[in-house]
Amino acid sequence: MIELIPAIDLIDGKCVRLTKGEYDSKKIYNEDPVAQAQEFERIGFKRLHVVDLDGAKSKHIVNDAVLRAITEATNLTVDFGGGIKTETDIEKAFDAGAAMVTLGSIAVTNPDLCSKWIAAYGSEKIILGADVRNGKISINGWKEDSEEELIPFLKKYVDMGVKNVLCTEISKDGTLAGPATELYKQLMAEYPHLHLIASGGVSCNEDITNLDAAGIPAVVFGKAYYEGRIRINELGIN
């Protein structure tokens, strides 16, 4: 069964969703992200994906206090990303209770530092964030496109020992238009041992079922849940 990972995206300490990463498309779904995390735990989810959108934009962690509040109030396994650029940032994230961190922009701009972190913390605690737009990796809250192409980018980090990859197709994110299943199938064919987390575009249970049937190990979803499009009782959560 595909791993189900609900998402909480943070701006100003509130639970929000964007469309295609555009900050002016922000919609607040819950003013209390801790309460939202507790609701996910009550439903039966074991894992939570938390994104510090303020941090991604500011290029340093901003919402670590919210992360700490979530990890102290729940037993969820929380992965955290957004704004991790320095040793101080990554230490803040782990100190605030993150079980794993997602390295996105820094993986493009400073692969040597990321290699050091993979060695220091272990590959099981690192998720490579591969946010894709027009085949290229985007950085800094999706405000900039790099020259890194997806497959060579992944190969570089697979060779470093990375096993967890969160791949977001930006054109799909927050659109409820369905995930980039063919892209994920291509990545799994290239790297069948990756724990690939599909992100972006999930609109309903059928999208999750289709990803599962395609052999995708995990999926992140947010807007579809918040908009009431996910039939929780049919997800097979224990």
The residues annotated as belonging to the active site are: 9, 131
Q: Count other C-beta atoms under 10 Å from residue 205's C-beta.
A: 16
Helical packing angle, 64-73 and 33-43, nearest 10° = 30
How large is the C-alpha radius of gyration of the chain? 16
Residue type, 130: A
Any idea which residue has 């964030």 for tokens? 129
Specify which residues 15 forms β-bridges with. 10, 30
Residue 63, Cα to own-chain centre: how many angstroms? Answer: 15
Q: Are 195 and 220 in contact (CB under 8 A)?
A: no
Which H or E run includes 224?
helix 223-226
Residue 48, Cα to own-chain centre: how many angstroms? Answer: 9
Distance separating alpha carbons of residues 101 and 126, to the nearest angstrom: 5
